[in-house]
Chain A
Amino acid sequence: EAGVAQSPRYKIIEKRQSVAFWCNPISGHATLYWYQQILGQGPKLLIQFQNNGVVDDSQLPKDRFSAERLKGVDSTLKIQPAKLEDSAVYLCASSLDPGLYEQYFGPGTRLTVT
């Protein structure tokens, strides 16, 4: 079965610019997660969707970050405007059911803000 797909794999932007990341989860997976992984740290959850509804966005900096999941499948994470401290790898993961099943991770998008 196909894994979690993410694009782009790499992105370099200047501060104050905007950027968007795309994620396509494993077919049939109702739960989708976006994590931020800063260099030298473990992944930190930004937002979690169950189908197309948000169930946890407590760690999402809502003044600059936004995310949506259309039709309960693909998802887009946007940063506008970007800051230097947003430089990180953005990981998307999906699972069949939260709390019961393994999370499957995509390869991530490495963002560099200059």
Chain B
Amino acid sequence: GDSVTQMEGPVTLSEEAFLTINCTYTATGYPSLFWYVQYPGEGLQLLLKATKADDKGSNKGFEATYRKETTSFHLEKGSVQVSDSAVYFCALSDRGSTLGRLYFGRGTQLTVWP
């Protein structure tokens, strides 16, 4: 079945450090890939997405590239800020399905120190 594997956290960085959170997926179909972010006390928010191989999703300085050959969708940011502290979830949705069901990874807690 469809599934997502994320690197385990927590990840602790100093402000302006480079961030990478690894995500790999398994899918029977041809999925769309997402990164969601959950700030403390809030619901999940879509951060970025990519719908086909080699697409790059980007938002708020974060980027992720859909790599079909390595079944990966790693999240990166060149210079993190304290305000980026949150839990990040990688997810996939089977584009061949009309249901739009999301399969989530376990989440990675990011803490950025000033």
A residues sitting closer than 8 Å to B (CB atoms) are 3-4, 31, 40-45, 48, 55-56, 91, 93, 95, 97-108
A48 and B101 in contact, given A42-B4, A42-B89 (Cβ under 8 angstroms): yes
**C-alpha spacing A93/B99, complex, angstroms:** 13
For B4, the chain A residues whose CB sits under 8 A away are 42
Query: Does B28 interact with chain A (Cβ within 8 Å)?
Result: no
A105 contact from B43, B95, B98, B101, Cβ within 8 A: B43
For B107, the chain A residues whose CB sits under 8 A away are 40-42
What is the interface of chain A mostly: helix, strand, loop, or mixed?
A: loop
B99 contact from A40, A56, A91, A104, Cβ within 8 A: A56
B residues sitting closer than 8 Å to A (CB atoms) are 4, 6, 36, 41-46, 49, 89, 91, 93, 95, 97-102, 104-107
**C-alpha spacing A3/B45, complex, angstroms:** 11
- Most chain A CB neighbours (cut-off 10 Å) among B42, B44, B95, B99: B44
For A99, the chain B residues whose CB sits under 8 A away are 93, 95, 97-100
B43 contact from A56, A100, A101, A106, Cβ within 8 A: A106
CB distance from A3 to the nearest CB of B (A): 8
A41 and B100 in contact, given A91-B43, A99-B93, A107-B43 (Cβ under 8 angstroms): no
> B46's closest neighbor in chain A, by CB?
A102
CB distance from A92 to the nearest CB of B (A): 9
A31 and B100 in contact, given A43-B44, A91-B44 (Cβ under 8 angstroms): yes
